[in-house]
C-alpha cells in the first residue's frame, strides 16, 4: 500500500538531491566521462575482453553501473548523516512513518538518483563506441537491483555513522574497493586465479557482470546465477536495514 507519508518522504529525498543537482548529478557524470576519456584513450586497441567488442564499448556499461551504484549509496547515506548531525532527522522520527515506509522511501529515492545519474552517464558516453542491446530487460533489472542494494547499504551506513569521517571510511574502505574490484574496468577472467576467486566473493561483481550481459549478450558468469546472488544479497541487506530501523539503533537510543 502506498501511503501519503511514504510518498512525501520519497518526494523530500528526491527534492533534496534535485536542489543540489550540480553536485549530485552533474559532477558524477563528469567524473565518469573523465574515466572514459582517460582509460578509453590509453587502453583502446590493446585489450579485447569479448570478441568483437572494443575496450571503450566494454567500459561504458561498467562506468554506467559504477555511477548508478555510487550515487545510490551516496544519496541515502549523505541525507541521513546530514539529518543526524544537523538534528533535523527528528522531523522524520516524530512522525507515524513505519520502519518499512522509512526504509523503502530512502531506498527508492536513492534508486532514482542512481538511475538518473546512470542515464546521464550513458547519454554522454554512448557516443564514443558502438553499443549493442542484446537483452534490455537484463540491463533494467540489474540497474534497479544494484541501485536498491547500494541504496540499502547507504541507509545502513547512514544509520551506523555518527560522524562524517565514519561515513567517509565506510565509503572509501568498503564501497569504492568493492566497486573498482568488481570488473568495471576489466573482465575478472584476465585476473590471476587467486584474485579471480576473490572477485567471485564480491557481490558487486555480479551486478556489473549481469548488467553488461544485457548489452553484449556475453558475460563472465551466467546472468541467472548473477540474478540469484544479487537478489539474495538485496533481501539479506534489506532485512538487516529494517531490523536496524525497528530496533532504533543509533536513531532512537
Partner 1 sequence: MTAIEISNVEKRYKSLQALGGVSLKIEEGEFFGLLGPNGAGKTTLISIIAGLIRADAGSVKIHGHDVVGDFRAARRKLGVVPQELVFDPFFTVRETLRLQSGYFGLGNNDRWIDEVMTELGLANKADTNMRALSGGMKRRVLVAQALVHKPPVIVLDEPTAGVDVELRQTLWKFISRLNREGHTIVLTTHYLEEAQAMCKRVAMLKLGKVVALDTMSQLIRRISGSQLVLHMPHNRLPDELQPLLNHPPEDNKYSLRINDYSEVEGILARLRMNGIAIDEMQLQQADLEDIFLQIMDENIV
List contacts with partner 1 (CB under 8 A): 3-5, 7-9, 11-12, 15-16, 19-20, 83, 86-88, 90-98, 248, 252-253
Element (H, E) at 171: none
Q: Cα–Cα distance between 13 and 69 in angstroms, integer?
A: 17
Name the residue nearer to partner 1 (CB basis): 69 or 81. Answer: 81
Which residue, 162, 14, 192, is CA-closest to 80? 162
For the chain, state the CA radius of gyration.
Answer: 18
**Shortest distance, CB of residue 104 to partner 1, whole angstroms?**
14
Which residue, 94, 75, 250, 237, is CA-closest to 161? 250
Q: Cα–Cα distance between 58 and 52 in angstroms, integer?
A: 10
Name the residue nearer to partner 1 (CB basis): 11 or 173. Answer: 11
**Shortest distance, CB of residue 164 to partner 1, whole angstroms?**
16
Name the residue nearer to partner 1 (CB basis): 16 or 200. Answer: 16
Name the residue nearer to partner 1 (CB basis): 12 or 200. Answer: 12
**Shortest distance, CB of residue 109 to partner 1, whole angstroms?**
13
**Shortest distance, CB of residue 162 to partner 1, whole angstroms?**
15
Q: How many other β-carbons are positioned within 10 Å of the β-carbon of residue 231? A: 15
Q: Cα–Cα distance between 167 and 155 in angstroms, integer?
A: 11
Amino acid at each position: 500500500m502506498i501511503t501519503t507519508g511514504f510518498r512525501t518522504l520519497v518526494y523530500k529525498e528526491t527534492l533534496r538531491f534535485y536542489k543540489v543537482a550540480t553536485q549530485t548529478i552533474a559532477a558524477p557524470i563528469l567524473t565518469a566521462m573523465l574515466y572514459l576519456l582517460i582509460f578509453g584513450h590509453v587502453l583502446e586497441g590493446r585489450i579485447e575482453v569479448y570478441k568483437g567488442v572494443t575496450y571503450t564499448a566494454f567500459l561504458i556499461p561498467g562506468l554506467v553501473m559504477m555511477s548508478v551504484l555510487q550515487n545510490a549509496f551516496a544519496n541515502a547515506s549523505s541525507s541521513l548523516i546530514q539529518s543526524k548531525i544537523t538534528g533535523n532527522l527528528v522531523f522524520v522520527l516524530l512522525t507515524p512513518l513505519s520502519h518499512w515506509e522509512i526504509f523503502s522511501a530512502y531506498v527508492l529515492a536513492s534508486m532514482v538518483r542512481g538511475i538518473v545519474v546512470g542515464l546521464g552517464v550513458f547519454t554522454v558516453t554512448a557516443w564514443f563506441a558502438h553499443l549493442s542491446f542484446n537483452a534490455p530487460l537484463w540491463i533494467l533489472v540489474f540497474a534497479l537491483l544494484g541501485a536498491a542494494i547500494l541504496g540499502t547499504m547507504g541507509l545502513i551506513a547512514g544509520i551506523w555513522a555518527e560522524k562524517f569521517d565514519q561515513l567517509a571510511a565506510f565509503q572509501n574502505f568498503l564501497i569504492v574497493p568493492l566497486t573498482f574490484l568488481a570488473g568495471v574496468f576489466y573482465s575478472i577472467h584476465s585476473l590471476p586465479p587467486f584474485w579471480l576467486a576473490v572477485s567471485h566473493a564480491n557481490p558487486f561483481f555480479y551486478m556489473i557482470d549481469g548488467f553488461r550481459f544485457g548489452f553484449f549478450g556475453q558475460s563472465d558468469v551466467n546472468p541467472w546465477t548473477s540474478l540469484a546472488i544479487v537478489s539474495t544479497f538485496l533481501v539479506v541487506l534489506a532485512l538487516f536495514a529494517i531490523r536496524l530501523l525497528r530496533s532504533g539503533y543509533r536513531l532512537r537510543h
